[in-house]
Each structure stands twice: as C-alpha cells, then as structure tokens.
Amino acid sequence: MATPRGPSSSLSPHAAANGDAQADWWVASDPREALTGRAVAEDHVLGVGGASTMLASITLRTPVGRVLDLGTGCGIQALHASLHAGEVVATDISQRALAYARLTHALSVPDARWDLREGSLLEPVEGEAFDLIVSNPPFVITPPGAPRFEYRDGGLEGDEVVGTLVREVGAHLNPGGVAQFLGNWEIRGAWTERLEQWLSESPVPLDAWVIQRDALDAAEYAETWLRDAGITPERDAARFRAAYEQYLRAFDAAGIEAIGFGAVLLRRPMHGSPTLKRLEEHEGQAPDAARPAPGREPRRT
Ligand SMILES: C[S@@+](CC[C@H](N)C(=O)[O-])C[C@H]1O[C@@H](n2cnc3c(N)ncnc32)[C@H](O)[C@@H]1O
C-alpha cells in the first residue's frame, strides 16, 4: 500500500548560468522525505537532487536544435536545456511527474518550447532523432520483492534500464549528436566488461566516454537506496531489515560483487567510424556548472 502523502507539494528555487544567459527558476516536485519525516510514496516525484545537478553540470552546453530529456521528473534537465536548445522533448512514465514538469515550465520558462510526452524509455520518440539526449534515468537496481519507486525503478530487471539506453540511444541521435546519462551497473570482475558488452550491441557505432565515479558493495548499496526512500531502521526496523536482506540475498545469488555508479557520454560520429572509446574511473568532484554566477545566488524562501 502506498504511504499516505502529505497535502503539500514543493517549490524550490534553482539558479543556473550558461555563458551570458542567467536564469532563476522555480522547480515543482513532491516534498523530500527529510521534510515530511516519512518514507516516500511509490509514485513520489523527485525534486532537484545531487544526481540532477551533477548531470546538469557535466552536460555539454553548446547551442543545439532538439533536445530529449528522458525521465524528466520535475523538469530540471529540461530547464537547463532551455538555455541552449530550440526545442525540448521531455518524457516520463509518470503522469504526476509530467504534471509537475508542466508546472515547472509554466512558472520558470513559459516561452520555451517544451513537448511533454508520457511513455517508457525511448517509446515516446520512436523514429525521431535529437542533437542532445540527457537523462538521469530510473537506474536503481532493485531486487524482486524489495520496495520499488517510480522515480528510480524503470520497470526492467537489474541494470537493464542503463543497458537499454546504451544499446538503443544511438538510433535516436542525429549525426554528431550526443547522449549523456547517469547510471548504475552490476559488476562481476572488471567493471568495464558490462559497458563494453552493451556498446558492442548498439546497432549504431558510437564514440563512448564512460566515467565510473563510485562502486558500492551490496550492503552499502542497499542502505543507500533504502534511506534515499526514507526507509530507515529508526522509522521502521522490521521493514528496513526485510528489504536490506532482500538486496543482500539477491545480489549474492546473481554473483554481483559491487554496483558501479557513473556517467555515460555517447556520440554518433558525424562521418565514418567511432574514434573514441574511453572507460575510466574518476572519483573527484564534478564541476558545478549549475552553480549560479557571483551575485546570482538563488532566492531563499
Ligand atoms: C531519477 S528521476 C530523474 C528526474 C529528473 N530528470 C532529474 O534529473 O532529477 C527518474 C525519472 O524517470 C521516470 N521514469 C521511471 N521509469 C521510467 C521509464 N520506464 N521511462 C521513462 N521515465 C521513467 C521517473 O518517473 C522519474 O521522473
């Protein structure tokens, strides 16, 4: 049963800069669990978080025509894209998320061209191509039986959301187009093997640059994502323990040694064959391009 939701939504200020363009936005979402003090509902719509700002900070910001924001949620990636794109197509499987994204658009960038579409992964853009695809997708690996949440579980087994994107996104890129997304991947042996496999299965040969920023063992991963949803031993010890054990058992049974977290950049070559394949580990601080320029601090409420 879904956890009862409080009456309020959340409006957060968010500032950004891209070259000379400065922006102050309002982002609409559900309130985070730290504010409500309880576990989030299954259909929770995430506000701007660390992963959102990290992706925004590493996304290439050259002027482009069409951008796809896959899994738009509150609309934060689409907002950033509006600073350098002619048109943004923003998709989500959740009608609640799309309603929040619509509100974010109305409050923050009413004149920007946003086309909001409901559907799973690349289904809503079948046959279409983009200059830039950005996604902070529902990449969390949740074992069967453990609590699932729309904002982070894409409805596929294991790390298949990220696998699907690596394999299929190339067909939706214009020549020279770039896809940038975050992800988790299962690690058995060398972490690069899974990424290499997915890349080899893309029918469109792609330049690839993958950075693994972190790797967690099963226990760390379970605790991270249970707490992220507000499922804590302090609030509900029995629920936390049961879910925690599901993670440990399932990962052990699947031979998963660790779970990698990182960023993927794929580019469809303008001409000819790919020239870049770089898979590396880098645990340093990501640049914070989402940080406002001096004198443009976000409004506080
Ligand atoms: C981690 S949130 C990211 C939200 C926002 N783009 C950001 O950067 O913070 C992932 C989003 O993907 C959506 N989603 C979940 N499953 C999906 C699917 N199969 N296809 C498309 N979107 C999905 C969720 O509803 C959620 O809004």
Q: How far is the CA of 120 from the centre of ligand 1 (A)?
A: 9
Report the percentage of the chain scoring pLDDT > 90.
Answer: 82
At residue 291, does pLDDT exceed 50?
no
Domains and CATH numbers, the chain: 45-281 (3.40.50.150)
How many whole angstroms separate alpha carbon 56 and alpha carbon 168?
22
How many whole angstroms separate alpha carbon 149 and alpha carbon 177?
31
Ligand 1 near 156 CB (within 6 A): no
User: Which residues lie below 8 Å from residue 25, measured CB to CB, with a gap of 6+?
Assistant: 13, 14, 15, 16, 79, 104, 107, 108, 109
pLDDT digits (tens, 9 = 90+) for 143-197: 998 989 999 998 899 999 999 999 999 999 999 999 999 999 999 999 999 999 9
Ligand 1 near 162 CB (within 6 A): no
Short-list 207, 220, 211, CA closest to 269: 207
Q: How far is the CA of 290 from the centre of ligand 1 (A)?
A: 20
Q: 5-9: long-range contacts (C-beta < 8 A, 24 or more apart)?
A: 5/30, 5/41, 6/31, 6/36, 9/100
Give the pLDDT of residue 295: 34
- Give the model's confidence band at 287: pLDDT under 50 very low, under 70 low, under 90 confident, else very high: low
Q: How far is the CA of 157 from the centre of ligand 1 (A)?
A: 16
Residue nearest atom 13 of ligand 1, based on CA coordinates:
71
Measured from the CA of 72, which atom of ligand 1 is nearest? 6
Average pLDDT of the residues in 254-270: 97
How many whole angstroms separate alpha carbon 230 and alpha carbon 233?
10
How many whole angstroms separate alpha carbon 63 and alpha carbon 131?
10
How many whole angstroms separate alpha carbon 45 and alpha carbon 135?
15
At residue 301, does pLDDT exceed 50?
no
pLDDT digits (tens, 9 = 90+) for 215-241: 999 999 999 999 988 899 999 999 999
Measured from the CA of 69, which atom of ligand 1 is nearest? 6
How many whole angstroms separate alpha carbon 264 and alpha carbon 279?
9
How many whole angstroms separate alpha carbon 58 and alpha carbon 75?
17
3 state DSSP class of 79: helix
Token pair for residue 214?
Answer: 């972190």
Q: Where are the alpha helices (DSSP H) in the chain?
A: 33-36, 50-58, 76-82, 95-108, 160-168, 192-200, 218-228, 237-253
Tell me the best of 27, 80, 92 to mutate to test the pocket of ligand 1, counting ligand atoms within 8 Å of each CB and taking the most. 92
Angle at 142 between CA 141 and CA 143, to 5 degrees: 120
Residue nearest atom 16 of ligand 1, based on CA coordinates:
154
Tell me the best of 57, 150, 182 to mutate to test the pocket of ligand 1, counting ligand atoms within 8 Å of each CB and taking the most. 150
pLDDT digits (tens, 9 = 90+) for 154-167: 889 999 999 999 99
